[in-house]
Chain A
């Protein structure tokens, strides 16, 4: 019996189509991307059925992590610049140009003003490693209030978002809310994640 000869096929596949797909997706992601701002702490937000989206601009964000530390962040590099100028005038702390530059680049921080200079002089890789103590927000030394107040002066359309962790204890949240009310920010947002399957 004659052997059936299987014709040898080439193993090389035409990659052109795959390249097309890959680069199409790449283009999509590049255009749709907004880089995640690096956050100093991981905050596990509670869920709610609210569907309102967080606006991109004119925001200041107050994060409270599960160890009840308070962090503060504001959008816009120029705004951060002028905010730091006001803080340095009030607390009589002079910042060098490079420290100002560094401050305008970080999205959120959680150190008291007294430690801010030292914090900014660290290289950014080390900054993420050290444990930030949080911004003082109690009635004795309410630095958070000053940050909020100066942010309002820097940007009068600013809105506040409070991002708390599920297990943040209520007194801290109350303190932050009271501070906001003291600074005449009576309307604010709580950041939540969308609850699944709730109606």
Chain B
């Protein structure tokens, strides 16, 4: 150990005095424990994925703006009712509502099916959406261009117009679901409108799809 070597002592046994070699190894186990504890803490408190949002544009509330009549042949009225059911009806040539049909949000045979077929009947540009999409993935057009094309197609003036009416029995989830269907079915023209008393009556008489 630490020792001051004396001056003239000739009694050394030859060889030098060596300090005992201490091992340089430190036990890291507690440090690892601490590290993982902190990792766990941060993992639990972190909000990694940000929530998604859906954009909604509501019309300006202004009494001076007249409500534009919706072209009858282009419009479908979708009424959200209780128990996650949806009632929809069209308006025929004479301006009279056709018999309402009751359905749900099933992704195969629910409202989506109707919206897709009806929109495809009216919007002849729908077919080009996959083409543009492929062009974007292939790098021929960039994302803003794709978005511009998509929005132009969605808002095509002869496309389907959806009038969304939610009754007081419906849930918030139903509203989001129907707005989601608008995205899925590439419908750019829709509006959320208050439900009228006449339509509340219609809902009661709605028939399920055959």
Contacts and interface: CB of A to CB of B under 8 A. Distances in A.
Given A26-B35, A29-B43, A33-B45, A186 B54 contact: no
Interface residues of A, number: 57
Contacts of A32: 46, 48
Interface string A148-171: 000000000000010111111111
Interface in A171-199: 171, 173-174, 177, 180-182, 184, 186-195, 198
Contact of A191 (B51, B166, B173, B174): B51
Interface string A11-28: 010111011001101100
Interface stretch (A41-49, A101-109, A130-138): A41-49
A182 B61 contact: yes
B2 interface: no
Interface string A42-67: 00011111111110100000001000
B149 to A, nearest CB: 18
A91 interface: no
Assign chain B's interface to a size class.
35 or more
B150 to A, nearest CB: 13
Nearest to A187: B57
A26 B179 contact: no
Contacts of B141: none
A172 to B, nearest CB: 8
Nearest to A177: B58
Nearest to A160: B56
Contact of A189 (B47, B55, B194): B55
B172 A193 contact: no
B125 interface: no
A169 B172 contact: yes
Interface of B: 27-29, 31-32, 35-36, 38-39, 42-43, 45-48, 50-61, 80, 107, 166-177, 179-180, 183-184, 192, 194
19 contacts: A22-B31, A36-B47, A48-B176, A48-B183, A49-B184, A50-B183, A54-B51, A169-B170, A169-B172, A170-B170, A171-B168, A181-B58, A182-B61, A186-B60, A187-B55, A188-B58, A189-B55, A191-B53, A198-B184
